[in-house]
C-alpha cells in the first residue's frame, strides 16, 4: 500500500494559520516579485482565477471580490513544510518528500492497520499539530494514491482521508477522473489524448498496453500499469543529487552600479554553496550570469555569463565567492541596467572523494571546518547570521509588498496573543 499526503492550497493555508480571520475568505499568494498567482484558496478558485495568471490582469477582480493578497514568504512555507513532514514521520515508518507540499508515506509493516482510519487520523493530526489541512490518499500504487488524495479535496465528507482499494471502487473513481490530472500523464499528450477521445483515467486504462507503450513510451505504460493496481514506482528514500545547482532572481528595480550588483550575486553564491554542501557535493565549475531588462528594448541589452573553474573540487563559499567576485566586474558594463543575475554550480561530484592537487593554494581542511561552523550557526540562529562580508545584508531586492511576517523562524516576528 502507498499513501500520499498532499497539503491543500499549501501557501494560502500557511498564511491562514497565522491569520485565522481569513479562513473562509478569498486569499491568494503571488510569485517572486509579486508577479503571478501561485496559490489560491478554494474561494479564489471558485471565482475563476486561474493558476499562473499575472496579477495585473486580475487587479479588478481582486478589488471587487476583496481578495487578500500575499507576497510569497518561502521562509515561512519551508518551515511549515518541515513541520508537516515531522508530524508524518511520527505516524508512519518513513516518508519520501516529493515536493514542498507533498510526501509519499511508506506503509510497509502496517498491513494490519485499518487504512481508512489511518488516513483520516494522519490528516487530523497534521491539522492539529501544524494548522495545515492535508489530504491523505491510500491505494495499491503511488499513481492511485495521488488520485485518492485528490478525492479528499472534492469530497469534504471524507474528512481528509481516502482509502481506495476495492477494484470496483477504483473503477468507479477512474471513470470520473480526468485523464490530464493523472500523475505521469504530461500536458504534452493532451492533444493526442483528446484526438483519441480519451477523457477519463478509465478510458486510458482501457487502452491496449502495447499501444500505450508505443504511443506514450515506457513511462506511459508504467502509469497504465499503476492505474491497474500494479505498483511500478517504488520508494526512493534518497533524493538524487543534483548535477547543477542554480540560484537566480529578478530584481525589483534595475541595478546600475557594480557594488550593489556584487552584493546581490554574493547572496546567490551563499545560497548555491549551502545547497551544495547539504547534498554532500563539491563542484569544479561555477558560472555567473547577468541580464538586462529585455522588456525595455530601447535600453542597451546584455546577456552574458562568465565561467570559473576550480582545479580542486570545492564546496567553500569563501573560495567560490572570491572567484565569482573576480569574474563579475569583467561582465559589468557601465550604463547598463541589470534586471536579473544568477549563479550556477556544475561539474558536481561527491565530496567524499576529492582529487587534490600538488600546488593547491587553498587550505581545504580549514575551509571545510569554517563552512561546517557557518552552516551550523545559520541553521540554529537563522539564515545568514554568519555570511561573507560581500553579500547584501538586506537580502534579495524583490518586490514583496504584501509579505507576511516570518512567524515561525524569527523571534521578532513571533505571533503576539493579547491577554487583556
Determine, following the binding rule CB under 5 A, whether residue 134 of this chain makes contact with Mg ion: no
Other beta carbons within 10 angstroms of residue 3's beta carbon come to 28
Cβ at position 50, least distance to Mg ion in Å: 16
By C-beta, is 6 or 319 nearer to Mg ion?
Answer: 6
Segment contacting Mg ion by CB under 5 A, of 100-108, 219-227, 228-236, 355-363: 100-108
Cβ at position 120, least distance to Mg ion in Å: 18
By C-beta, is 6 or 15 nearer to Mg ion?
Answer: 6
Determine, following the binding rule CB under 5 A, whether residue 101 of this chain makes contact with Mg ion: yes
By C-beta, is 155 or 303 nearer to Mg ion?
Answer: 155
Cβ at position 180, least distance to Mg ion in Å: 17
Read off φ and ψ for residue 114, nearest 5 degrees: -75, 105
By C-beta, is 85 or 275 nearer to Mg ion?
Answer: 85
Other beta carbons within 10 angstroms of residue 45's beta carbon come to 14
Site size with Mg ion, rule: CB under 5 A: 3
- What is the spatial order of strands in the sheet that 102-106 belongs to? 94-99, 102-106, 2-7, 134-139, 161-163
Cβ at position 362, least distance to Mg ion in Å: 44
> Are the C-beta atoms of residues 101 and 81 closer than 8 Å to each other?
yes
**Distance from C-alpha of 192 to C-alpha of 354, rounded to nearest angstrom:** 48
Cβ at position 63, least distance to Mg ion in Å: 27
**Distance from C-alpha of 172 to C-alpha of 168, rounded to nearest angstrom:** 6
> Are the C-beta atoms of residues 266 and 388 closer than 8 Å to each other?
yes
By C-beta, is 7 or 212 nearer to Mg ion?
Answer: 7
CA-nearest of 133, 73, 107 to 3 is 107
By C-beta, is 17 or 324 nearer to Mg ion?
Answer: 17
Segment contacting Mg ion by CB under 5 A, of 4-12, 59-67, 185-193, 270-278: 4-12
**Distance from C-alpha of 392 to C-alpha of 55, rounded to nearest angstrom:** 28
By C-beta, is 49 or 320 nearer to Mg ion?
Answer: 49
> Are the C-beta atoms of residues 147 and 153 closer than 8 Å to each other?
no
> Are the C-beta atoms of residues 286 and 308 closer than 8 Å to each other?
yes
Q: Which of 5, 6, 289, 321: binder of Mg ion (CB under 5 A)?
A: 6
Determine, following the binding rule CB under 5 A, whether residue 84 of this chain makes contact with Mg ion: no
Binding mask 203-242 for Mg ion (x = CB under 5 A): ----------------------------------------
> Are the C-beta atoms of residues 173 and 164 closer than 8 Å to each other?
yes
Cβ at position 81, least distance to Mg ion in Å: 11
Q: Which residues bind Mg ion (CB under 5 A)?
A: 6-7, 101
Amino acid at each position: 500500500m502507498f499513501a500520499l499526503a498532499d497539503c491543500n492550497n499549501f501557501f494560502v493555508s500557511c498564511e491562514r494559520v497565522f491569520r485565522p480571520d481569513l479562513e473562509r475568505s478569498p486569499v491568494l499568494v503571488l510569485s517572486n516579485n509579486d508577479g503571478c498567482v501561485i496559490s489560491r484558496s478554494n474561494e479564489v478558485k471558485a471565482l475563476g482565477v486561474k493558476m499562473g495568471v499575472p496579477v495585473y490582469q486580475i487587479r479588478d477582480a481582486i478589488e471587487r471580490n476583496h481578495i487578500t493578497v500575499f507576497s510569497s514568504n518561502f521562509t515561512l512555507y519551508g518551515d511549515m513544510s518541515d513541520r508537516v513532514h515531522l508530524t508524518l514521520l511520527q505516524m508512519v515508518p518513513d516518508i519520501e518528500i516529493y515536493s514542498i507540499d507533498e510526501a509519499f508515506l511508506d506503509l510497509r509493516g502496517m498491513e494490519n492497520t485499518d487504512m481508512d482510519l489511518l488516513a483520516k487520523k494522519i490528516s487530523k493530526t497534521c491539522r492539529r499539530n501544524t494548522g495545515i489541512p492535508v489530504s491523505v490518499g491510500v491505494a495499491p500504487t503511488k499513481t492511485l494514491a495521488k488520485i485518492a488524495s485528490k478525492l479528499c479535496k472534492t469530497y469534504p465528507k471524507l474528512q481528509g482521508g481516502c482509502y481506495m482499494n476495492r477494484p470496483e471502487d477504483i473503477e468507479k473513481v477512474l471513470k470520473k477522473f480526468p485523464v490530464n490530472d493523472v500523475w505521469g500523464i504530461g500536458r504534452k499528450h493532451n492533444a493526442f489524448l483528446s484526438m483519441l477521445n480519451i477523457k477519463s483515467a478509465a478510458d486510458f486504462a482501457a487502452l491496449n498496453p502495447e499501444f500505450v507503450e508505443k504511443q506514450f513510451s515506457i513511462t506511459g505504460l508504467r502509469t497504465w500499469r499503476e492505474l491497474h493496481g500494479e505498483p511500478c514506482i517504488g520508494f526512493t528514500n534518497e533524493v538524487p543529487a543534483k548535477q547543477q545547482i542554480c540560484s537566480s532572481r529578478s530584481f525589483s528595480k534595475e541595478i546600475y552600479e557594480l557594488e550593489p550588483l556584487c552584493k546581490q550575486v554574493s547572496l546567490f553564491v551563499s545560497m548555491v554553496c549551502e545547497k551544495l554542501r547539504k547534498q554532500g557535493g563539491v563542484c569544479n565549475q561555477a558560472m555567473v550570469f547577468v541580464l538586462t531588462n529585455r522588456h525595455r528594448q530601447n535600453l542597451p541589452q546584455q546577456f552574458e555569463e562568465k565561467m570559473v573553474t576550480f582545479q580542486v573540487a570545492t564546496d567553500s563559499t569563501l573560495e567560490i565567492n572570491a572567484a565569482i567576485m573576480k569574474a563579475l566586474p569583467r561582465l559589468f558594463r557601465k550604463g547598463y541596467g541589470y534586471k536579473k543575475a544568477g549563479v550556477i554550480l556544475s561539474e558536481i561530484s561527491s565530496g567524499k572523494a576529492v582529487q587534490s592537487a600538488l600546488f593547491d593554494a587553498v587550505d581545504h581542511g580549514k575551509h571545510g571546518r569554517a563552512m561546517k561552523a557557518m552552516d551550523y550557526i545559520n541553521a540554529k540562529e537563522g539564515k545568514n547570521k554568519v555570511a561573507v562580508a560581500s553579500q547584501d545584508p538586506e537580502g534579495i531586492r524583490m518586490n514583496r509588498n504584501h509579505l507576511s511576517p516570518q512567524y515561525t523562524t524569527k523571534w521578532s516576528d513571533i505571533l503576539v496573543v493579547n491577554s487583556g
